[in-house]
């Protein structure tokens, strides 16, 4: 009986298999790497857009509540910034005589010919009765002599107390911590309660939000970061007029590992005091 010799791979065949396997592995790795890289890039871009959009929306919500004519675009310590006075509530003050039997009581009117510290609000204010550490502003035009930032069209001291006027149902007695003479009356008898000054500052790769008293520097208190990875930002403001809304334009560029996202957002601001 004749035994057939066993057959195996020759060295040439083995080398060919190794080469082909290597080529397939390289091609597969390139394909997989491209897909994974594209997914990672897409996720990075989505993260950048989400962060920028979140910051824009936060700034937009707050800026829309700014005291009329209080927005100003500045350089804060050499960095682009937008500052404004943030309102928390408002109402309409009593200017004329009240209903019987208390009609004409001067304590229920807001007087402009002398410092005054008490008046009635003729409608809802949006706050419960109590004492609040707020300023009060009437008809701020932002012009010299009638500027809230200078404490002219806004009280210079904090402190507002609200209480129902039992003699006049539906009205609220507003008492100020210190008497103040407002330069101008409001054609629509509007007043605003102001909490603090706020600044959004573009600095060192991020946008920070600062909250401070109106006569302090913007960085008197620590800032809170709204968004990181900021490459550049720009604030442009058209104040408009008493009959046309102001327009604040925010432009933000954020980047990470070569990916850049540029967003622009416009905010209409009512400057009718």
Q: Count structural domains, the chain.
A: 2
Residues 153 and 225 in one domain: no
If you ran DSSP here, which 8-state letter would residue 143 be given? B
In a domain, 19, yes or no: no
- pLDDT-derived band at 180 (thresholds 50, 70, 90) equals very high
Euclidean distance between the first and the last CA atom of the chain, given in angstroms as a whole number: 115
209 in the same domain as 76: yes
**pLDDT over 70, % of the chain:** 88
* Owning domain of residue 226: 45-82+200-269
Strand order in the sheet with 116-121: 116-121, 172-180, 160-164, 130-132
Last residue of a domain, one of 179, 195, 211: 195
Percent of the residues in the chain that have a pLDDT greater than 90, as a whole number: 59
In angstroms, the CA 244 to CA 227 distance is 31
My answer on whether 92 and 182 are in the same domain is yes
Average pLDDT over residues 104-112: 83
Name the pLDDT band for 79 (thresholds 50, 70, 90). Answer: very high
Model confidence at 273, pLDDT cuts 50, 70, 90, reads confident
Residue 116 lies in a domain: yes
pLDDT band at 39 (very low <50, low <70, confident <90, very high): very low
- Write out pLDDT tens, residues 128-150: 999 999 999 999 999 999 999 99
Say what the pLDDT of residue 149 is.
96
Regarding whether 251 and 188 lie in a shared domain, the answer is: no
Residue 179: inside a domain, yes or no?
yes
Quick one: pLDDT at residue 161?
97
Whole-number pLDDT of residue 46: 82
Alpha helices in 64-148 (DSSP H): none
State pLDDT tens for residues 195-253: 999 999 999 899 999 999 998 999 988 899 999 999 999 999 998 776 678 899 999 99
Sign of the torsion formed by the C-alpha atoms of 238, 226, 127 and 105? negative
Mean pLDDT computed over 70-93: 95
The mean predicted confidence, pLDDT, of the chain is: 87
In whole angstroms, give the CA distance from residue 94 to residue 104: 10
Last residue of a domain, one of 195, 225, 250: 195
pLDDT reading at 44 higher than 90: no
Among residues 166, 195, 224, which one ends one of the domains?
Answer: 195
């Amino acid at each position: 009986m004749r035994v057939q010799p066993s057959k195996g791979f020759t060295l040439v065949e083995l080398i060919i298999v190794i080469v082909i396997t290597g080529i397939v592995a390289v091609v597969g790795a390139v394909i997989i790497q491209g897909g994974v890289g594209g997914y990672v890039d897409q996720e990075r871009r989505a993260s950048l857009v989400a962060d920028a959009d979140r910051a824009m929306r936060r700034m937009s919500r707050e800026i829309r509540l700014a005291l009329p004519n209080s927005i100003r675009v500045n350089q804060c310590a050499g960095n682009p910034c937008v500052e404004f006075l943030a309102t928390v509530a408002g109402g309409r003050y009593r200017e004329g005589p009240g209903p019987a039997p208390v009609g004409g009581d001067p304590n229920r009117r807001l007087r402009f010919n002398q410092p005054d510290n008490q008046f009635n609000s003729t409608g809802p204010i949006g706050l419960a009765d109590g004492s609040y550490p707020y300023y009060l502003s009437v008809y701020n035009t932002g012009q010299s002599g009638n500027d809230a930032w200078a404490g002219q069209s806004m009280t210079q001291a904090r402190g507002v107390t609200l209480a129902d006027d039992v003699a006049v149902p539906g009205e609220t007695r507003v008492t100020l911590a210190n008497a103040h003479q407002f330069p101008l009356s409001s054609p629509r008898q509007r007043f605003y309660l102001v909490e603090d000054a706020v600044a959004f500052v573009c600095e060192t790769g991020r946008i920070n939000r600062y909250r401070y008293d109106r006569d302090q520097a913007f960085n008197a208190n620590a800032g809170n970061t709204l968004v990181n990875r900021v490459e550049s930002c720009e604030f442009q403001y058209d104040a408009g007029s008493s009959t046309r809304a102001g327009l604040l334009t925010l432009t933000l560029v954020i980047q990470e590992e070569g990916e850049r996202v540029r967003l622009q957002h416009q905010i209409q601001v009512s400057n009718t005091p």
